[in-house]
Structure 1
Amino acid sequence: MSTTLGIDLASQAQKTGVCVIEWSGSGARVRTLHRGGPEAGDEPLRAAIRSGHTKVAIDAPFGWPEPFVAAIRGDEWPDVEARALAYRETDRFVHKRAGKLALSVSTDKIAYCAFRCARLLSGLDAPRDGSGLAVEAYPDAALRCWLPTSFAQRPAPSYKGEPGSERREELVDVLLAGLGDRFDIGTGRDDCVKSDDCLDALLCALIARAAERGKTIPPGDEHAASARAEGWIHLPEPGSLAQLID
């Protein structure tokens, strides 16, 4: 038996989603799924990450674009395009592969999540490329890899916020159908429909399982160096959803 931890990290605890999935030879069940509360604070999350899970996936950037880091360290103005300062190699790879462009960690408010993530992982064997305990996750892009192309990539409203509840219900039902009868979500289906933070936390825990089983796309030789410095978003292999359960 093993467990994976998924964290939909926000800059504040009340918007942070947490999910633990227990995996065994007979199937899998969602053991914990919640949004906010005391368990979503920094110290409880640090303890949870260190509590023996086989893999952890966090929806937050693990690093910054190398040209951006060089620019703020240097004494001269950088002669590079703005996109090189705004986006990492992994962001461009995900956009090409899944059709979804991540938020820019150097220009957007998601940098606050990256600051918090760095503190949570401090002192752990957690290389930024995901080769250790923790991997960087992007739930929306993962859905596009796991779900049928005709469903995941068709024009559709966002599943975020209160207006996205109907879309979340649709996504959760398709996701559970792909996982099969041996995946027990318990009361988590309603939680995911009510909160996109819960849905993203569930997806992160599934991405952690995919990474544990070698069912995510690692950085190739051409991206290895940048992944170690900037981080690497672990996209699941297409069609691998049902393979997450033994």
Structure 2
Amino acid sequence: MLIAGVDLAAEPKGTALAVLELTRGRALLADLQLGVADEAIVAAATGVTKIGIDCALGWPVEFVNFVNLQAEISTGSPQFDGGIDWRRKLAYRETDRRVRQVTGRWPLSVSTDRLGMTAMRATGLLSKMAHRGIPIDRSGEGKVVEIYPAASMRIWGLKADGYRNSVEVRSKLLDELLTAAPWLDLQSNTEMMIESCDAFDAVIAGLATRAAALGHYEMPEPDLLDQARIEGWVALPNCSLDALVDSDQNLIAPQNRRS
């Protein structure tokens, strides 16, 4: 099975793509790229079982409704509350609330943070993929799924605090990851993952996408499914790292650790 993980930024600079090849008892990092343009991501999506994107794939329904109606405010109807509770409904999606419930932390708001620029790019990507015949379902049931690497690592018990801003933290985190997942063969990409937080996130996104491909993730309840298909839904893994490979097989311990 081929799985792709994307750490998406508003521009190719800052965007990373990882492709993992999963066989019995082993996950091989077959490709890891930095500075990735839309065309390369769409091409990867056509050749993998599932592709996970680290970015909000939609906006809160409440926010979309607000944008559609706010032009009519001069007429006095509709009336907007303007209070903090109302604003939070516009700022966060249902999946963001689930992330906070599971991890104890709010993700960035696609409505009010700079993440919105990246989400606009993600919308363009989904459009291009659909044009190529790739099924798009923002709830995660199609080939494309929304991934949150930092939350995934917390669920797996990895100490990820501060990893995006520190080479030293990423180095320790990578050792922790390889100890927890001895079946993960990074080939010659360990230094790239240490030097680039984008590359690191793309690989973690690939692992979380594998969990989603196996159905091992927090799915939206039936009454939230239609909303998730509009807003997007973060596929939080609900399995261990070892569940990503067939633990009944002999694990291959690649020589990818650093002395």
CA distance in 2 between counterparts of 1:202 and 1:86 reads 28
Aligned residues: percent identity?
Answer: 38
**Local SS of the residue matching 1:216:** coil
Note the C-alpha offset of 1:178.
1.5
TM-score if structure 1 supplies the norm length?
A: 0.89
Question: Which structure 1 segments of 5+ residues have no match?
Answer: none
User: In the alignment, which residue of structure 1 is the partner of 2:68?
Assistant: 73
**Mapped pair 1:130 → 2:126:** no
CA distance in 2 between counterparts of 1:168 and 1:117 reads 26
CA distance in 1 between counterparts of 2:99 and 2:181 reads 23
**Local SS of the residue matching 1:15:** coil
2:44 corresponds, among 43, 48, 54, to 48
CA-based RMSD: 1.5
Q: Are residues 60 and 77 of structure 1, via their aligned partners in 2, closer, same or farther at CA, if it must alter by over 3 Å?
A: farther
Q: How does 1:1-246 map to 2 (within 5 A)?
A: 2-36=1-35, 40-50=36-46, 52-74=47-69, 75=72, 76-79=78-81, 81-122=86-127, 123=130, 124-147=134-157, 151=159, 156=161, 158-161=162-165, 164-180=166-182, 182-238=183-239, 240-246=240-246
Deviation sequence 1:151-175 (CA, Å, 0-9, x none): 46xxx5x1113xx111111211111
User: Residue type matched to 1:128 in 2?
Assistant: R
CA distance in 2 between counterparts of 1:13 and 1:172 reads 24
CA distance in 2 between counterparts of 1:89 and 1:142 reads 18
CA distance in 1 between counterparts of 2:194 and 2:105 reads 22
CA distance in 1 between counterparts of 2:97 and 2:79 reads 24
User: Residue type matched to 1:86 in 2?
Assistant: A
User: Residue type matched to 2:172 in 1?
Assistant: E
CA distance in 2 between counterparts of 1:26 and 1:90 reads 31
CA distance in 2 between counterparts of 1:130 and 1:146 reads 20
User: Residue type matched to 2:90 in 1?
Assistant: L
TM-score if structure 2 supplies the norm length?
A: 0.85
User: Residue type matched to 1:224 in 2?
Assistant: L
| CA radius of gyration, larger in | 2
**Local SS of the residue matching 1:208:** helix
User: Residue type matched to 2:29 in 1?
Assistant: V
